[in-house]
Amino acid sequence: MRRDLNQDVPAIEWPNGTKLTPYSAERAAVVHELMLIGYREGGGRVPALDVWQQQFENDPEYDPALCFIASDAAGVIGVAQCWTSSYIKNLVVHPRAQGHGLGRALLLHAFKVFQDRREGFVDLKVLESNHRALSLYERSGMYVVRRELVPD
């Protein structure tokens, strides 16, 4: 899916008590745990912590300033992991924090950061069967981009 960043990004409304911090290696285990929970609910898989952390931190598009971690008094409740290519790699919200606007806030924050970096679009992939995520993305101004195959 894609979001045109030439359009205004709505004001971000963070759920009460939410604190946003960037990724650090010291937070890898809690971010990884949230990814495991999220992928169990939304489909897909996450490698073991050591493999995940190695792949994540050594990816050529990795920038710790583009991994947004949302926490409340009880711990990490959301993460948006983005790449420098204006791509949202992962967006996960802990089940106890779902339905309170955190996913939308993280998504809009990513849009705003990429807009400030003067990017034209932001993209992400989502399974067609993940209706909850599709609904969130569409309500946030994203639209489906179909791949066009070149005939033989």
What CATH number corresponds to the domain at position 76? 3.40.630.30
CB 133 within 8 A of CB 42: yes
The answer to whether residue 147 is domain-embedded is: no
Q: Is the pLDDT of residue 135 over 90?
A: yes
The answer to whether residue 13 is domain-embedded is: yes
The answer to whether residue 20 is domain-embedded is: yes
Q: How far apart are CA 58 and CA 91, in angstroms?
A: 19
Q: Which residue has the higher pLDDT, 5 or 45?
A: 5
The answer to whether residue 34 is domain-embedded is: yes
The answer to whether residue 61 is domain-embedded is: yes
Q: Is the pLDDT of residue 38 over 90?
A: no
Q: Is the pLDDT of residue 43 over 70?
A: no
pLDDT in tens, 16-36: 999 999 899 999 999 999 999
| Host domain of residue 66 | 2-139
Domain count, the chain: 1
- pLDDT bucket at 73, cuts 50 / 70 / 90: very high
Q: Provide mean pLDDT across the span 102-112.
A: 97
Q: How far apart are CA 82 and CA 61, in angstroms?
A: 9
Cα dihedral value 58, 35, 115, 60, nearest 10: 10
**What is the edge-to-edge ordering of all strands in the sheet holding 2-4?**
2-4, 121-124, 87-93, 75-83, 67-72, 19-22
The answer to whether residue 146 is domain-embedded is: no
Q: Is the pLDDT of residue 41 over 80?
A: no
- pLDDT bucket at 62, cuts 50 / 70 / 90: very high
The answer to whether residue 127 is domain-embedded is: yes
Residue type, 44: G
